[in-house]
Amino acid sequence: MQGVGKRASPVRENQGSLQNLAENPEIVPESATEIPVPEMFPESAVLQTKQMRDHRLFLKVNIFQQVILALIDTGAARTYMGTKVLKIIKRNKILPVHSNSSSVQLAEGSVVQTLGLYQFPICIQQHEVQLECQLLPSLTSDLIIGLDFLELHLISLNLGRRTLVLRSEEIQLESNIQTGLAGIHGPTESQLEKLNQFIDKHLIKQFRNSPGITHTIEHTITLKPGAEPKKQRYYPRNPAIQGIINQEVDQMLADGVIEPSNSPWSSPIVLVKKPSGKYRFCVDYRQVNEATVKDSYPLPFIEGILSRLREARYISTLDLKSGYWQVPLSETSKPITAFTVPGRGLFQFTVLPFGLHSAPATFQRLLDNILGPEMDHKAFAYKKFYVDSV
């Protein structure tokens, strides 16, 4: 995949390739000493942190002498645990009641699978009760207490007092104190100069202007049974906007992003203005999305990302250049992406376009595959306006 290597100076910018590194290991030295990373960031450049208060309701529970803050979630029908609680109960020889999986729909709409049902005792102050919960490895909280537990034990909540009543005793609920970001002290001018010299000497050869193509994944558009091609009229544009569209089409043809088409499908072009003032070329695929099956691959939660940043001392980002356009389309999917350019005819994408409802899922799957579980706590992909940052 092709990325944007943001230089230390705001006026200098180059593009780098993650996929080149993945597919051409010979360009990576065998030892770190062959590319000397300059020690240019002293303690003054360390990420600073502060304490943040999570105003959700948490219950302090004791699981085999380990204190866990359990999130009270009245929107959850069942109770779920994450990997931290799993490790505690495994040390105490707790086996699953069964290992059957079930589908759970998260708040943002994605569907994930549970990995078995567990039952074990917990202590809430002096009260010992049995907890039945399902394992959800992707859970960002250690333990989520759902309606099943609250109803089984006749627990009532007082949101105003932030308490619950268990067996006639009122128990104070907790606020989760988390370490959060308070600001980053940037490098000095001399550090910026050293960083730019390092980029020029060791990384500049891996950067280029056109987006690359990954061979790790391919996006396929799956039509619903009985779906028919959708042909829509293009939107009228003033000459200035049409000029921008023509420039974008010329560049995309040169980069191999699009090609002429004879498809029965046709969707209208839309231009989305970026914060920089430039335009992102998109197509209005709403009718295409209605006729296609959605991919439910999960996207990351911002809470989970911030939690993983708590221990970070240095933070860097890689902003991928037209990240979606680095993912090839299957041959059967290309005609479905066709769009009309007034006065120039019909074109179709050869790569993943913006606007398809399953595009974020495909791109997140690609980044997860490239980073892998071994990098889970060191690097992660996240979504700003589009999933294109690491």
State whether 156 and 278 are in the same domain: no
Total domains present in the chain? 2
State whether 140 and 262 are in the same domain: no
Domain end residue (candidates: 151, 172, 193)? 172
In a domain, 362, yes or no: yes
State whether 342 and 258 are in the same domain: yes
State whether 133 and 245 are in the same domain: no
State whether 245 and 362 are in the same domain: yes
- In angstroms, the CA 96 to CA 243 distance is 63
In a domain, 202, yes or no: no
Contacts (Cβ under 8 Å, ≥6 apart) of 266: 230, 231, 232, 234, 338, 339, 340, 346
- Per-residue model confidence as pLDDT tens for the chain (390 residues): 444 444 444 333 344 444 443 444 333 333 333 444 444 444 434 444 444 556 788 999 999 988 999 999 988 899 999 999 999 999 899 999 998 888 887 765 667 889 999 999 999 988 999 999 999 988 888 999 999 999 999 999 998 899 999 999 999 998 765 544 444 456 677 777 887 788 778 776 666 666 778 888 999 999 999 999 999 998 888 888 899 999 999 999 999 999 999 999 999 998 887 777 788 888 999 999 999 999 988 877 766 666 766 666 667 777 777 788 899 999 999 999 999 998 899 999 999 998 899 998 998 888 888 876 666 666 555 544 334 444
- CATH number, domain with residue 273: 3.10.10.10
Determine which helix (DSSP H) or strand (DSSP E) holds 175, and give its type and residue range. strand 174-184
Domain end residue (candidates: 172, 202, 231)? 172
Domain end residue (candidates: 172, 196, 230)? 172
At 198 the pLDDT is: 82
State whether 61 and 167 are in the same domain: yes
In a domain, 86, yes or no: yes
At 226 the pLDDT is: 93
At 382 the pLDDT is: 53
In a domain, 37, yes or no: no
Q: Over the stretch 222-278, which tens digit does the pLDDT of each residue have?
A: 999 999 999 999 888 888 889 999 999 999 999 999 999 999 999 999 888 777 778
In a domain, 189, yes or no: no
State whether 167 and 256 are in the same domain: no
At 375 the pLDDT is: 65
Query: How far is C-alpha 10 from the chain's CA centre?
Result: 26
State whether 152 and 68 are in the same domain: yes
At 207 the pLDDT is: 65
Instruction: Give the structural domain span for 64.
Output: 57-172
Phi, psi of 357 (to 5 degrees): -65, -20
At 209 the pLDDT is: 67
Concatenate the DSSP letters of all residues of 331-348 into one string: TTTGGGG-EEETTTEEEE
State whether 161 and 281 are in the same domain: no
State whether 256 and 362 are in the same domain: yes
Q: Over the stretch 307-326, which tens digit does the pLDDT of each residue have?
A: 766 666 667 777 777 788 89
In a domain, 325, yes or no: yes
At 196 the pLDDT is: 79
- CATH number, domain with residue 135: 2.40.70.10
In a domain, 348, yes or no: yes
Question: Is the Cα torsion angle 56, 60, 62, 67 positive or negative in sign?
Answer: positive
Token pair in block for residue 194: 């050293």
At 177 the pLDDT is: 54
At 264 the pLDDT is: 96
Token pair in block for residue 54: 């999570």
State whether 164 and 80 are in the same domain: yes
Token pair in block for residue 314: 């240095």
Query: In sequence order, what are the beta bridge partners of 59?
Result: 70
At 4 the pLDDT is: 43
| Ramachandran region, residue 288 (left: φ > 0; alpha: ψ -120 to 50; beta: rest) | alpha
In a domain, 136, yes or no: yes
- In angstroms, the CA 72 to CA 299 distance is 23
